Every structure is written in structure tokens, then in C-alpha cells.
């Protein structure tokens, strides 16, 4: 008999996410549905405001992804007004965005998803001396490695467990689940780096603040450029940025990448089997401009495009006009498919099915999520670090090909392992290395420019003329994937504003043709060792780094139990 499981909420993500799935007699998922249980109303708030102020409000869509929404909003207005920022502004924006990446990617792994692979309790039984050997096996220059450090970490964990047998913030986890595959020593190394990352994450956050005035919610960008002129004029400020960049890079090279290699080797069976692979169709907006052409027209570190069905022989070009959103299964009025310039945000919450055995299920044949269903050229796609590497690899980008091939060779993996949940984590680490390496070059270029007397930071424009009637879109390569803002301006005011966040693409429900979104597709085929402990569901979903606050915004409070999941028998897989 089939079983239907409900995981609500999915934890260790940003925002509220509910997942329902059907298991066959072998405890393998045959169908899944993803539902965001929050509503976002920012687009409505932005209407009739000055477009030059849009970024300050749009970045409040999320408390984590503040910089990328800030940048996307300014880019949308700049695109509408036909404004291209000067070289120094481009470099500063690249550096701030890079700092966001080298902060987000390691924090995502250690704080949000590492414990899908790492058994913290197992680390208590490890040998600190053997753990040193494990660290050296995976890195030629391991981070913070010594038997003394590992023993101290172990003692700290042991004291914590003795003081609070429920393990406090680590309680209600699935320690000891048979899906955990690392050795006790490997677990100890990873837990040690988890603690290191908690401390180190403040460094790239301060890097963002140097050039952005503050973090989160930076203030130093404007339509046409940046305002951080004094920082550029002060060599000590840029030198400090460089010192912090080096510190972060040491952690990335000595801990983050080696730990992902360690996890990849241990869970290679899942990766080779393509567990969590999902749609295998990918979209990337591209990012990190390498010249001073208008955004979207010049050379970029990561190229844009679309790859379908895992076929690396062809990359389809990106065309923003071919992006649409379907609300057939979303809690919005009607079932229209609209291009974002014509998008509307009119809520129509239709609730859940009447309770059966005290459980109210999603109306999966009707509307069941606050997330809309985007497509590009009619295709359902995944976005994110894996999508960017797949598109770049297929496009023949030499930097990406070298980085991907190097990572596969280091682990002895075939190319196919990328099409999996483990592959998404590997792609995130590879992308981090590419970006942190590029940042050193951008910083040097900025220092040479400013020391040579070039202090250009802003491009002037005639607001009264360009804001009479215009429209534009702003694309940003955000850590979680393709982020887009669309704006229409009439008589100097915002007439319409729409955003499609990375998690909108990935967490989307089925579209009008009944095709699943990326989360839903990735869960099909996932096997649960113990249905009462849906660890593998979390492992798959966390590989996307969900951010539901970007996809939707205001809480829909219904008084439901927010700390449990249910497993119930079902006579059908529908």
C-alpha cells in the first residue's frame, strides 16, 4: 500500500515550505508536490513610487538576499533608462556580489545542509588523531587541522550533550539514520569546520559592508552607479578588503572544497544513480560583467543560456521576452500565463482539502502554492549553481570547463554525477572557487584605476526625459540562481513591478500542462531508509538552498502545527 508523507515545515531554509509526497511499497517517492505557505506583496507596495527608490524597498523582499535584489532593481531601472554604469561601479558591484557568494555558499553548506550528510553524534566516537589523517587526505593545506583542535571540538560537543541530552538546537534530528555514510572521523572534521564557519562568515559580511555602507540592506548603490567614492579614495579600505578576501579564500580552499570532496566520495553512489537529478533542464542568466558594455550585451564570467534534458551539445539563447509565469496551480486569480511586464499579483487563496484522518492535504489538482510557475520559451527549468556550470560547460567556457573537469578528476567522478543532489553541492563549491579567484583580479583592477586618478563612479542621465514612459528588466546571478526584476515606468512613477526569484523557478508547483517544478521533479525516485525520518527529502530540497521569502513574503497564519510531519497510508498514488 502506498503512503503519503507530509513534511511541514521544511526546516533549515529561508521561509516556509511544505512538501507532500507519495511512497511506493519500497519507500521510494513516486510523486511529490511543493507548496509555499507564505504570500509576498512587495510588488504592490512598489507601485506609484519613484523608480530611483525601488532598490531600497525591493531589497526588503528578503533578509538574506538583500544585495542581489538591490542590484536587480537598479539594473532594471538602468535598463529602462538606457544607462550604463562606469568601470569602477562595475568592479565594485562585482566585488560586492562576489562577497555575497563567498559568504552564502559555505554558510549554506555548513549551517543549512551539512547535517543532511554529517552525523554529529557519530563524531563523538571519532579518533582526533585519525581525523587529522582524514583532513590531510582531502586537502594539501587543510584548515585549522590538529588533533588538539579536533579533541577540543569533541569535548565541546560531549559537554553539550551531557548538559542537555536533547542536544538543544541539534535535537529532533535523525542522528544514526542508515542514510548517513561518513566515518566518525570524517564527521568530526566536518563538524569542526561547521564551527569554524560560524565564526568566519562575519568576514565576507564585512567585505560587503566596506563597499556597500552596511550589511544586510546595503545603501551604496544608486541608479547609474555607486556612492562609495570615499572608500575608493582610501587605499587602506581596499587593502582591508583584500586581507579579508585572503582569509575567506583560505577557508574555502582548506575546508569547504575538501569537505565537499569528502562528501562526494562517500555519497558517490547516490550521485552516480542520479538521485535528486530532477528536470535536468537548466537556465542561467549569466553574471559578473568583464567589460563596460551595457549589462547583458558584453562578456561575463558566467554565460547565459538554457540547456534541455541534460544535453550538453546545445545551448539555447536567453530571451527575457520568452519568460512567462503560469498561475494555474498558484493561489492567484485565474489561470493566465503572463510575461512579467504584464504580470499581476492578485491573491486567491483556496485553502486545503477537508481533513482526512486529521490531516488536511493540498488540493494538488487545483491551486496549492503561493509560488507561481515560470517557464522560459515554454520549458520548465532548474536554476542555481549547477545550472550555471552546466550552461557554461555546454557553452565551451574555458574557465568553467577547467574547474569542473578538475573537480571531477579530484574525486574520480564521471560527468553524470553532477545531475544529482550531491552534484548541486559540488557545483556550488566549484563556483565559489571560480568567483573567489576572479575577485582578486577585480580588486587589483580597481586599485590600479583609483590610484591612477580614475574616480568615476556614476553616469548622469536626464530623469525627466527617460522616465516619461519606459520599461526595463534587471537580471542578476544570485547565489541561489537566476533573479529577475521587471519594471514599467510612466510619468516618473512605477506603473508595474514584478520579480521572479531563483526559488520561484525551483519551488514552483505544476504548471497548466501538469508538468512539475524542479523541487517536485527532484524528489521523484528518492528512497527513504526510514519513512518516519525523511532525511533524504531534506537532503534533496536543501541541495537547492530554498529561499521562500524571496518567492513569497507575508505569512499566511493558519494555526497549524509547524513542527511535525505525518506519514499516513494511502490507497492511491494520486
CA distances from 237 to 206, 280, 320, 443, 500 (A): 11, 43, 38, 11, 35
Q: For the chain, which ranges sit under pLDDT 50?
A: 553-574
> In whole angstroms, what is the distance from residue 324 CA to residue 378 CA?
8
For residue 87, what is the enclosing H or E element? helix 87-107
> pLDDT at position 570, please?
44
Contacts for 555-561: CB closer than 8 Å, 24+ residues apart = 555/16, 555/38, 555/39, 556/37, 556/38, 556/39, 556/349, 556/370, 558/37, 560/8, 560/360
- Which segments of 278-380 are extended strands (E)? 282-284, 287-289, 300-302, 305-307, 323-326, 337-338, 373-376
Question: What interhelical angle do 128-138 and 147-163 show, nearest 10?
Answer: 120
The grid coordinates listed for 475 are: 537580471
> In whole angstroms, what is the distance from residue 539 CA to residue 112 CA?
10
> In whole angstroms, what is the distance from residue 428 CA to residue 433 CA?
9
> pLDDT at position 40, please?
62
> In whole angstroms, what is the distance from residue 469 CA to residue 3 CA?
55
> In whole angstroms, what is the distance from residue 127 CA to residue 149 CA?
12
pTM: 0.94
Strand partners, 472: 487
* DSSP per-residue letters across 377-445: TTB--B-SHHHHHHHHHHTT-HHHHHHHHHHHHHHT--GGGGSSHHHHHHHHHHHHHHHHHHHHHHHHH
CA distances from 231 to 199, 312, 531 (A): 25, 43, 54
The grid coordinates listed for 279 are: 528536470
> In whole angstroms, what is the distance from residue 82 CA to residue 468 CA?
13
Cross-sheet strand order for the sheet of 373-376: 337-338, 323-326, 373-376
The grid coordinates listed for 529 are: 531508509
* DSSP per-residue letters across 188-239: HHHHHHHHHHHHHTHHHHHHHHHHHSSSSS---EETTEE--HHHHH-HHHHH
> In whole angstroms, what is the distance from residue 551 CA to residue 271 CA?
28
CA distances from 105 to 76, 99, 477, 478, 544 (A): 25, 10, 13, 11, 11
> pLDDT at position 170, please?
83
Q: Residue 453 in 3-state DSSP?
A: coil
Residues 100 and 475 sit within 8 Å (Cβ to Cβ): no
Cis peptide before 232 (omega within 30 of 0): no
Q: Residue 326 in 3-state DSSP?
A: strand
> pLDDT at position 358, please?
77
Rg (CA), the chain: 23
DSSP symbol at 341: G
Q: How far from the centroid of its chain's Cα atoms is residue 121's Cα?
A: 28
Could you give phi then psi for residue 222, rounded to 5 degrees?
-140, 165
The grid coordinates listed for 221 are: 548603490
Question: What interhelical angle do 184-200 and 235-251 show, nearest 10?
Answer: 170
Q: What angle do CA 342, 339, 14 make, to 5 degrees?
A: 100
Q: Which residues contact 256 (CB under 8 A, 6 or more apart)?
A: 105, 106, 109, 110, 193, 197, 429, 432
Could you give phi then psi for residue 570, rounded to 5 degrees?
-140, 140
The grid coordinates listed for 420 are: 544529482
Q: Which residue in 370, 225, 397 sits closest to 303, CA to CA?
A: 397
> In whole angstroms, what is the distance from residue 525 CA to residue 358 CA?
28
DSSP helix, strand, coil percent of the chain (3-state; round to 5): 45, 20, 35
For residue 29, what is the enclosing H or E element? strand 29-36
> pLDDT at position 41, please?
66
> pLDDT at position 269, please?
96
The grid coordinates listed for 86 are: 562606469
> pLDDT at position 168, please?
78
DSSP symbol at 169: G
CA distances from 410 to 167, 368, 417, 550 (A): 36, 43, 13, 35
Domain ranges in the chain are: 103-275
Question: What interhelical angle do 235-251 and 87-107 show, nearest 10?
Answer: 30
In tens, the pLDDT along 492-545 reads 999 999 999 999 999 999 999 999 999 999 999 999 999 999 999 999 999 999
CA distances from 150 to 132, 195, 250, 266, 471 (A): 8, 11, 19, 21, 56
Amino acid at each position: 500500500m502506498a503512503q503519503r508523507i507530509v513534511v511541514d515545515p521544511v526546516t533549515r531554509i529561508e521561509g516556509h515550505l511544505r512538501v507532500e509526497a507519495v511512497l511506493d511499497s519500497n519507500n521510494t517517492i513516486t510523486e511529490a508536490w511543493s507548496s509555499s505557505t507564505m504570500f509576498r506583496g512587495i510588488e504592490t507596495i512598489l507601485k506609484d513610487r519613484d523608480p530611483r527608490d525601488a532598490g531600497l524597498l525591493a531589497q526588503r523582499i528578503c533578509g538574506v538576499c538583500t544585495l542581489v535584489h538591490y542590484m536587480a532593481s537598479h539594473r532594471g531601472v538602468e535598463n529602462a533608462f538606457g544607462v550604463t554604469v562606469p568601470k569602477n561601479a562595475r568592479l565594485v558591484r562585482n566585488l560586492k556580489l562576489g562577497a555575497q557568494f563567498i559568504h552564502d555558499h559555505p554558510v549554506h553548506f555548513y549551517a543549512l545542509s551539512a547535517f543532511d550528510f554529517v552525523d554529529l553524534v557519530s563524531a563523538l566516537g571519532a579518533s582526533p588523531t585519525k581525523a587529522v589523517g582524514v583532513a590531510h587526505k582531502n586537502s594539501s593545506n587543510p584548515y585549522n587541522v590538529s588533533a588538539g583542535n579536533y579533541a577540543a571540538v569533541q569535548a565541546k560537543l560531549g559537554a553539550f550533550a551531557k548538559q542537555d541530552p536533547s542536544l538543544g538546537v541539534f535535537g529532533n534530528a535523525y542522528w544514526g539514520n542508515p542514510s548517513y555514510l561518513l566515518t566518525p572521523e570524517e564527521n568530526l572534521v566536518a563538524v569542526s569546520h561547521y564551527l569554524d564557519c560560524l565564526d568566519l562568515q562575519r568576514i565576507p559580511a564585512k567585505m560587503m559592508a566596506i563597499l556597500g555602507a552596511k550589511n544586510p540592506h546595503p545603501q551604496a548603490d544608486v541608479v547609474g552607479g555607486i556612492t562609495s567614492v570615499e572608500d575608493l579614495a582610501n587605499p587602506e579600505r581596499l587593502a582591508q578588503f583584500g586581507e579579508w578576501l585572503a582569509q575567506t579564500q583560505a577557508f574555502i580552499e582548506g575546508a569547504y572544497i575538501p569537505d565537499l570532496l569528502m562528501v562526494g566520495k562517500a555519497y558517490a553512489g547516490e550521485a552516480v544513480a542520479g538521485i535528486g537529478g530532477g528536470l535536468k533542464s537548466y537556465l542561467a542568466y549569466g553574471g559578473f560583467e568583464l567589460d563596460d558594455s551595457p549589462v547583458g550585451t558584453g562578456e561575463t564570467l558566467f554565460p547565459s543560456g538554457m540547456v534541455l534534458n541534460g544535453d550538453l551539445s546545445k545551448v539555447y539563447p536567453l530571451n527575457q521576452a520568452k519568460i512567462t509565469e503560469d498561475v494555474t496551480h498558484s493561489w492567484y486569480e485565474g489561470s493566465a500565463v503572463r510575461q512579467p511586464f504584464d504580470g499581476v499579483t492578485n491573491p486567491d487563496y483556496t485553502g486545503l482539502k477537508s481533513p482526512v484522518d486529521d490531516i488536511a492535504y493540498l488540493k494538488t489538482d487545483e491551486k496549492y502554492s503561493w509560488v507561481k510557475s515560470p517557464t522560459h520559451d515554454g520549458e520548465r527549468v532548474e536554476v542555481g549553481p549547477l545550472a550555471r556550470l552546466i550552461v557554461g560547460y555546454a557553452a565551451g567556457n574555458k574557465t568553467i570547463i577547467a574547474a569542473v573537469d578538475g573537480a571531477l578528476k579530484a574525486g574520480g567522478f564521471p560527468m553524470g554525477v553532477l545531475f544529482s543532489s550531491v552534484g548541486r553541492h559540488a557545483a556550488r563549491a566549484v563556483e565559489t572557487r571560480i568567483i573567489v579567484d576572479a575577485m582578486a583580479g577585480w580588486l587589483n583592477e580597481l586599485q590600479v584605476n583609483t590610484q591612477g586618478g580614475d574616480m568615476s563612479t556614476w553616469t548622469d542621465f536626464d530623469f525627466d526625459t527617460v522616465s516619461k514612459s519606459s520599461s526595463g528588466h534587471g537580471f542578476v546571478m544570485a547565489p541561489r540562481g537566476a533573479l529577475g526584476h521587471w519594471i514599467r515606468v510612466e510619468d516618473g512613477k512605477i506603473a508595474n513591478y514584478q520579480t521572479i526569484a531563483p526559488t520561484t523557478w525551483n519551488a514552483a508547483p505544476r504548471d497548466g500542462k501538469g508538468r512539475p517544478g524542479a523541487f517536485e521533479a527532484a524528489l521523484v525516485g528518492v528512497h527513504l531508509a526510514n519513512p518516519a525520518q525523511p532525511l533524504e527529502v531534506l537532503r534533496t530540497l536543501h541541495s537547492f538552498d530554498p529561499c521562500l521569502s524571496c518567492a513569497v513574503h507575508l505569512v499566511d497564519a493558519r494555526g497549524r502545527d509547524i513542527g511535525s510531519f505525518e506519514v499516513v497510508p494511502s490507497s492511491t498514488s494520486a
